Amino acid sequence: MTPDELKQLVRAVPDFPEPGILFRDITTLISHGEGFAHCVRHLADRAAATGAELVAGMEARGFIFGAAVAARLGLGFVPVRKPGKLPVATIGIDYALEYGRDRLEIDPGAIPHGARVVIVDDLIATGGTALATAELLRQAGAAVSHALFVIDLPDLHGADRLRGAGLTVDALMAFAGH
């Protein structure tokens, strides 16, 4: 299936999480076996082209796509977690959300110094989580130059923020609007 065909598997949910927002729901894509397999293949092909040695994905939907891409490529997967979820000493980063702040943590021992890590997530909106992830991975000694997404919402300029931080950004599909 092509990315355009995969785009047809993404459900639009109006007024979620608040009125005026058209939510792009990937549940219908990941529940479609053939579509999910093709989506992972497309992401894995793009990840392989970056020379990645590890794949990192953010909680929670980045785990779905990132782990599948890592498995397809025979690479390790680095989970980027919410605070308090890892049983070992972690490093973390606080970052701004639209309404408040959040924190991400990783196990720095999971990343060999200088390892080329590609970030994989389901969606890029404002870019705050992906940008914090890149900064955190770099603090751990990773070389991070690429971020891959299933969906880009270009009107929210997240991909532009990542490019401004030195990342190459790629998405399988884009949807106008919020």
pLDDT in tens, 49-89: 999 999 999 999 999 999 999 999 999 999 999 999 999 99
Q: How far apart are the first and last CA of the chain?
A: 26
**CB-based contacts of 20: which residues, under 8 Å, 6+ apart?**
178
Instruction: Identify whether 5 is a catalytic site residue.
Output: no
Helix, strand, or coil (residue 106): strand
The yes-or-no verdict on residue 27 having pLDDT over 90 is yes
Q: Residues of the chain with pLDDT > 90: what percent? A: 93
Rounded distance between C-alpha atoms, residue 25 and residue 38, angstroms: 17
The reported pLDDT for the residue numbered 144 is 98
The reported pLDDT for the residue numbered 13 is 96
Give me the residue spans of the domains in the chain.
Answer: 3-174
Rounded distance between C-alpha atoms, residue 1 and residue 82, angstroms: 33
**CB-based contacts of 18: which residues, under 8 Å, 6+ apart?**
none
Helix, strand, or coil (residue 164): helix
Q: Which CATH architecture has domain 3-174?
A: 3-Layer(aba) Sandwich (3.40)
Tokens of 23: 């939510």
Out of 41, 59, 61, 161, the active site residue is 61
What average pLDDT does range 96-108 have in this prediction? 88
pLDDT band at 178 (very low <50, low <70, confident <90, very high): low
Instruction: Identify whether 98 is a catalytic site residue.
Output: yes
